[in-house]
């Protein structure tokens, strides 16, 4: 999955990495998908957003790939589509099966290990879980058709793809988390003193992800106004971008 999933970085002059902003995935030749909140802040003068291609050691060195035509999905969702001069070795397949309740999923994202003399160091992180429920999530970007996942969403996981079971079929894209709680100690009143002991709660977090259909219907200038589904089926824009 290193060939599809990449960390998002902000690059300064002389290819110095200034910051790590999240994760994204190449869903078709020339097309990169991530969360809008990862790339919505305009970079400073002399800086730009890029993806860091981190192949296996035997496949070559790291490469900084510019993210071009960055734009939010026209639906207003927390999704961004960008162009990228990269073609995966194999096509990425979407999983559009209707049955999702309790389905096993896994994700591959990135985290920052802090600054180094060359900028910012990032390493991959693998997480596994299952879909606890599909639901409608009220977010700052409106109502999101989401999957709730029984796995955490640590910093850097925004934009990480989720895949079905033990396959490499794309099921969704993590955009955040929601919190609930369990009660470890109930509220009670001491019989003799009358003192009240408060309820003790333990916070529990669940990752939340965009559903497959939302990803397939996303569109922006990066797709030439086509939906991702149409872009993939035609394949025209990706081929043109590769030849530039």
Query: Tell me, what's the pLDDT at 59?
Result: 57
Through-space distance between the first and last CA atoms of the chain, rounded to whole angstroms: 26
How far is it, in rounded angstroms, from Cα 63 to Cα 61? 6
User: Does some domain include residue 192?
Assistant: no
Q: What is the DSSP string of 109-158?
A: EEEEEEEETTEEEEEEEEEEEEEEEEEEEEETTEEEEEEEESS---TT-T
Residue 53 lies in a domain: yes
Q: What is the SS3 assignment for 244? A: coil
What gap in Å lies between CA 127 and CA 146, rounded to an integer?
Answer: 18
Asked whether residue 66 is assigned to any structural domain, the reply reads yes
For 159, the token pair is 């934009």
pTM for the full predicted model: 0.84
- pLDDT, one tens digit per residue, over 55-80 is 765 556 788 999 999 999 999 999 99
211 pLDDT more than 80: yes
Task: Examine the pLDDT at 44 and tell me if it is beyond 80.
Answer: yes
Q: Is the pLDDT of residue 82 over 90?
A: yes
Which CATH number belongs to the domain containing residue 57 in this structure? 2.40.10.120
* HEC assignment per residue over 180-192: EEEEEECCEECCC
Q: What is the pLDDT of residue 229?
A: 94
Token pair 């160091």 in the structure block, residue: 121
Q: Residue 94: which domain range? A: 5-180+205-242
Q: How far apart are CA 199 and CA 186, in angstroms?
A: 5
Asked whether residue 149 is assigned to any structural domain, the reply reads yes
pLDDT at 190 (0 to 100): 63
| 200 located within any domain | no
Q: Is residue 197 part of a domain?
A: no
Q: Please report whether residue 94 resides in a domain.
A: yes
pLDDT digits (tens, 9 = 90+) for 124-175: 999 999 999 999 999 999 999 999 999 999 989 999 999 998 888 999 999 9
64's enclosing H/E stretch is strand 63-66
Q: Does 199 map to a domain?
A: no
Q: Which pLDDT score, from 0 to 100, does residue 8 have?
A: 95
Q: Which two tokens stand for residue 229?
A: 């589904």
Number of domains, the chain: 1
Rounded percentage of the chain residues whose pLDDT exceeds 70: 82
């Amino acid at each position: 999955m290193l060939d599809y999933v990449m960390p998002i970085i902000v690059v300064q002059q002389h290819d110095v990495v200034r910051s790590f902003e999240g994760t994204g995935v190449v869903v078709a030749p020339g097309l990169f998908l991530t969360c809008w909140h990862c790339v919505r802040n305009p970079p400073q003068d002399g800086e730009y957003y890029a993806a860091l291609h981190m192949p296996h050691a035997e496949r070559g060195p790291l490469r900084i790939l510019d993210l071009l035509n960055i734009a939010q999905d026209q639906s207003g969702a927390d999704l961004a589509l960008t162009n990228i001069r990269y073609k995966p070795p194999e096509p990425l397949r979407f999983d559009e099966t209707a049955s999702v309740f309790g389905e096993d999923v896994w994700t591959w994202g990135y985290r920052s290990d802090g600054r180094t003399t060359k900028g910012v160091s990032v390493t991959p992180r693998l997480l596994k879980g299952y879909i606890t429920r599909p639901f409608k999530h009220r977010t700052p970007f409106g109502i999101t058709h989401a999957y709730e996942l029984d796995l955490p969403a640590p910093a850097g996981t925004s934009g990480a793809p989720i895949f079905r079971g033990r396959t490499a079929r794309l099921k969704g894209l993590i955009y955040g988390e929601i919190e609930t709680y369990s009660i470890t100690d109930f509220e009670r009143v001491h019989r003799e003193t009358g003192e009240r002991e408060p309820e003790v709660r333990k916070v529990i977090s669940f990752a939340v992800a965009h559903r497959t259909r939302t990803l397939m219907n996303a569109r922006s200038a990066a797709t030439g106004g086509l939906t991702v589904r149409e872009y993939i089926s035609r394949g025209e824009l990706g081929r043109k971008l590769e030849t530039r």
